[in-house]
Amino acid sequence: MKKVLIPTKLDSVAAELLKAHGGYEVAQDAKTPLEEQVKAHPDTYALIVRSEKVPAGIIDALPQLKVVIRAGAGYDTIDIKYARKRGVDVMNTPGANANGVAEEVIAMMLADARHIVKADTTTRAGGWEKKDYMGREVTGKTVGIVGLGNIGRLVAKRLKGFECRLLGYDPLVNSDRLRDLGIESATLEEIFGQCDYVTLHIPGGDSTRGLVGAKLLGLMKKGATIINCARFGIVDEEALRAVKAEKKLRYLNDVYPKDEAGTKSMADIADLMLPHLGANTHEANYVAAQRAAQELIDLDEKGDMSCIVNRDIPEGLERAYCELAYNLASLVRQLSGTQTPIKMLETSFYGALAPFGKWLTVSLLSGIWHDFDRYNDYKAAVKFLKEMGIELVNREADTEKGYGNAITIDIKVEQPDKGLKSFSVRGTVTEGVQTVSRIDEFDRLYFEPSGATLFCLYDDRPGVIASISRKLADAGINIEDMRNPHNAKTRRSLAIIKLNQPVSPELLGEIKAEIKAHSAVCTVV
């Protein structure tokens, strides 16, 4: 019998499923501190937690531990790297809470629109403030959904009953998929400029910190509402504070720097504040518990690793090629434009990499979509692409081309009013160094995909490199390396210039205009 420890208030269905299976002994206790339970159950094989912290010390205290399952999506409370070193698989239950969060968004919209909280308080106190609580209807309003993952798509589905016009922004989702969801594709500027409600469903981190700042807030209609059930930091509180009263904006919030009691920085600008209740439903708890138990059973019986978030690299595959797949994908995505929806993804894995194509595809996807976890498996990758409406083609590599152990990545993206456009890169690892050997029609490039690199595609003619160099020098930017291949058939040249720092968007625009480039992109890998 394998011991499963559940030191949290989790729906009993997890224990029931495991006990019914017959191969597990379950100990569940939501009251005793985890540290004490660990001492009482040193023979624990699997640990199922919610928000409990599982640091290295807990892992070390359980010598027979093989699996930690987070009954929920986020697993930042678990030391996954140390768990990997100890041979412990860490799993999660992605999507189990999505409906709960989507319904919370609708509940917040309605509660705010009809003054539910204040009206209840004053009526209970004996008042009758009906004249002060003139509300508005959600029906027929224009709603912008920023981020169309599981939660964003469910919000769209729930809003259809309110006959809302739905605008959506997600550079990862192509137009066909948006049409299927009944959503109009829009830019961030269009969403913030046109919508009565804007609901945020994007990941946190450096890439989105302060995204909703002075520029977007300045575009909003008077009386519009922002709903943030995504991550703290996406909304620039100071920027919102500066325009909120003038524009009569409403701000509904359920995210904080830490989930704990205490003064909240946005208390003066939030019209409705909840203590991170999105996933706090009986149903979400049940689904997360059920999935956690089933994942453990499937891992033990079927070897299903689709929800392991800290997998190790398989024997026979060098880690450098996982990094190569990641960096090549990041490069081609930046070359194609990160705001262009992808329609198709094609890959080729040459030489000794062919047997590891599915594994490398996961690294590749995480290079294109940084919120797609590199510890997912191929099954999760296929599901992710299907949800995004993106076709995946893993081509059989032509062994006669003599590329050695190489990776080719092609993506087809939607260009506004121009149909599809293809971008392609190929690379390998030479003497331990990652090398890009081809970009589109330009072959034998042999440069390392690292740091800041300027790419300028232009019609071949003398003097262009001198013009670029002068612009960079005037901006105090140093050139560290350069390639300048030409293609006789297309009569185009590609300037590949490695720099000591990234080029600003303004300078990039100046360079593009001066040399009349077909495209100019500065990538950071």
Q: Report the pLDDT value the prediction gives residue 418, as an integer from 0 to 100.
A: 66
- Condensed to tens digits (0 to 9), the pLDDT of residues 432-470 reads 889 999 999 999 998 888 889 999 999 999 999 999 999
CA distance 505 to 502: 9
pLDDT value at residue 310:
84
Do residues 90 and 103 share a domain? no
336 falls within a domain: yes
Residues 248 and 325 in one domain: no
pTM of structure? 0.73
Asked if residue 311 belongs to a domain, the reply is no
| Same domain, residue pair 333 and 435 | yes
One domain, residues 22 and 149: no
Q: Name the nearest CA neighbour of 207 among 172, 181, 241.
A: 172
Is residue 208 located within the same domain as residue 129? yes
Distance CA 460, CA 363 (A): 35
pLDDT tens sequence across 398-429? 777 778 899 999 999 987 776 889 999 999 99
Looking at the structure, do residues 53 and 195 belong to the same domain, yes or no? no
CATH code of 183's domain? 3.40.50.720
pLDDT at 13: 97
Helix boundaries (H) for 369-455 = 378-388
Question: How far, in Å, are 222, 329, 439, 445 from residue 425 at the CA level?
Answer: 46, 8, 5, 11
In the predicted structure, residue 25 carries a pLDDT above the cut 90: yes
If asked whether residues 80 and 136 sit together in one domain, one would say no
Asked if pLDDT for residue 485 goes beyond 80, the answer is yes
**What pLDDT digit, counting tens, does each position of 94-115 carry?**
888 899 999 999 999 999 999 9
514, pLDDT greater than 90:
yes
Pair type for strands 44-49 and 225-228: unpaired
Give the C-alpha separation, 214 to 220, whole Å: 10
Give pLDDT, residue 503.
92
- Orientation of helix 505-515 relative to helix 464-474, angle to 10°: 150
Three-state SS for 48-59 is EECCCCECHHHH
Give me the CATH number covering residue 329: 3.30.70.260
CB atoms within 10 A of CB 110: 14
How many residues in the chain?
525
In a domain, 384, yes or no: yes
Mean pLDDT of the chain: 92
* Interatomic CA distance for residues 258 and 145, integer angstroms: 25
Closest CA to 392 of 344, 350, 348: 344
State whether 264 and 334 are in the same domain.
Answer: no
Alpha-carbon distance 498 to 63, whole Å? 49
**Claim to verify: residue 70 and residue 198 sit in the same structural domain:** no
Supply the range of the domain harboring residue 103.
98-273
The verdict on 194 and 211 lying in the same domain is yes
Token digits of residue 473: 């020098």
> For residue 90, what are the CA distances in angstroms to 48, 69, 72, 316, 371?
10, 6, 12, 23, 18
Number of domains in the chain: 3
Higher pLDDT: 525 or 64? It is 64
Residue 314 covered by a domain: no
